[in-house]
Amino acid sequence: MEDLLRLATLFLLFLALFTGTCCIVFALVVRFERRQQAAFLATFYGDPHFQASLGDWRTPIAVYSRGLDPGGRILALGGGKNEPLRWEAFSAAPRTAARTTLSVTPEGAVGRLREWLGFTDIHTGDDAFDRAFCVRGNDADVVRGVFLAPSVRVAVQDLFALGGVKSFSIDARGAVHVRAWRRDLAGPLARELLRRTLAVTAALEAHADARPALPPSMTAALTEGAGGDSGAPVAVPIVVVDPHRR
C-alpha cells in the first residue's frame, strides 16, 4: 500500500510539474508572439500607405491599404523550415469557369534543367528578362501579351530585387501569391514587399486596362467587380497577417 501511495504521489508531482512547465512555456510563447505583434504594428505606425490593427485568431495582425476596401487580403502564413513565408492577395471569389494563371520565378538551375528536359517557358521577347526569369502560365499568348508592357517587366524585376523573394504568381482563383524565404519580415522590409507587390498588380491592371482585347479570363484574374458582377477594374485591397505566426 505504501508503495502505491508513493507511486501516486510521484505521479501527481510529475503531473503538476509537467502542467506547470507547459503553462510557463505557453506563457513565454504568447509573450514572445505579442511582442512580435507589437513590433510589427509599430512598423506601420504613421505609415501613409498602410494602417495596422489587431485582427482575429486567424489574422493576429491586419494591415489595410489606406483608401481601399479591405475585402481582399494578403496573408503571411509563416511556416517552419520546410515551408517559406507565403504572401497572398486574394481578389473576389471566382465567377468564371477558367482563369488565366501566371507564374514568375528566377531562372536559376531548376529553370535551366526544366528547359533541358523539354519543358518550355513563355518567352516575353525581352532577352535579358527571359534569361533572368522563368515565366509560365496556362495561356501562353495571354501571358506573353501581358509582359509586352515594359512597366510590367520593370515592376516584376523590382519585386525580385528585394532579397528573399522566390516567386510571384496568379492562380486559377485570381489570387496573387508572393513567396519569400525571409524569416523576419517585420520592419521596412515588410512594407517594401507590400509596396512592390502592389506595384506589380497595379502594372498588370494598368496593362489590362490599356488592352481592351485582353481575354476576360486574365482581366477577371486581375480585377474585382465593384458591384459583384460589374467587372470594373479596381486596385487589389490587402490585409496582412502577422508574418511571425507559425
DSSP string over 19-76: HHHHHHHHHHHHHHHHHHHHHHHHHTTT-SSEEEEE--SS-SEEEEETTS-TTSEEEE
**Model confidence band, residue 69 (pLDDT cutoffs 50, 70, 90):** very low
| Lookup result for grid cell 498602410 | 50
Do the beta carbons of residue 177 and residue 169 sit within 8 Å? Answer: yes
Q: Looking at the domain assignment, is residue 15 inside a domain?
A: no
| Lookup result for grid cell 518550355 | 120
Q: Tell me the whole-structure pTM to 2 decimals.
A: 0.59
Query: What integer pLDDT is reported at residue 112 of this predicted model?
Result: 67
Q: Looking at the domain assignment, is residue 155 inside a domain?
A: yes
Q: 96-105, 177-186, 196-205, 237-246: lowest mean pLDDT where? A: 237-246
All three cell numbers of 116, joined, read 533541358
Do the beta carbons of residue 198 and residue 134 sit within 8 Å? Answer: no
All three cell numbers of 239, joined, read 490585409
Q: Looking at the domain assignment, is residue 246 inside a domain?
A: no
Question: Could you give the CA distance from residue 231 to residue 202 in angstroms, rounded to a whole number?
Answer: 16
- Show the domain range for 63: 44-222
> In this predicted model, which residue has the larger pLDDT, 149 or 87?
149
Q: Looking at the domain assignment, is residue 2 inside a domain?
A: no
Tens digit of each residue's pLDDT (9 = 90 or more) over 4-35 = 788 888 888 889 999 999 999 999 988 877 77
> In this predicted model, which residue has the larger pLDDT, 112 or 131?
131
Query: What integer pLDDT is reported at residue 66 of this predicted model?
Result: 55
Question: Could you give the CA distance from residue 143 to residue 148 in angstroms, rounded to a whole number?
Answer: 9
Query: What integer pLDDT is reported at residue 63 of this predicted model?
Result: 57
Q: How many CB atoms lie within 10 A of CB 145?
A: 18
Question: Could you give the CA distance from residue 180 to residue 188 in angstroms, rounded to a whole number?
Answer: 15
How many domains does the structure of the chain reveal?
Answer: 1
Residues contacting residue 30 through CB under 8 Å, at least 6 positions apart = none
Where b means 16+ CB within 10 Å and e means fewer, 92-128 reads beeeeeebbbbbbbebeeebeebeeeeeebbebeeee
* Residue 229 pLDDT > 50: no
Question: Could you give the CA distance from residue 176 to residue 37 in angstroms, rounded to a whole number?
Answer: 24
Q: Looking at the domain assignment, is residue 156 inside a domain?
A: yes
Q: 28-37, 40-49, 78-87: lowest mean pLDDT where? A: 78-87
Do the beta carbons of residue 217 and residue 96 sit within 8 Å? Answer: yes
- Percent of the chain's residues with pLDDT above 70: 50
Q: Looking at the domain assignment, is residue 243 inside a domain?
A: no
Q: Looking at the domain assignment, is residue 20 inside a domain?
A: no
All three cell numbers of 5, joined, read 501511495
Q: Looking at the domain assignment, is residue 218 inside a domain?
A: yes
> In this predicted model, which residue has the larger pLDDT, 160 or 73?
160
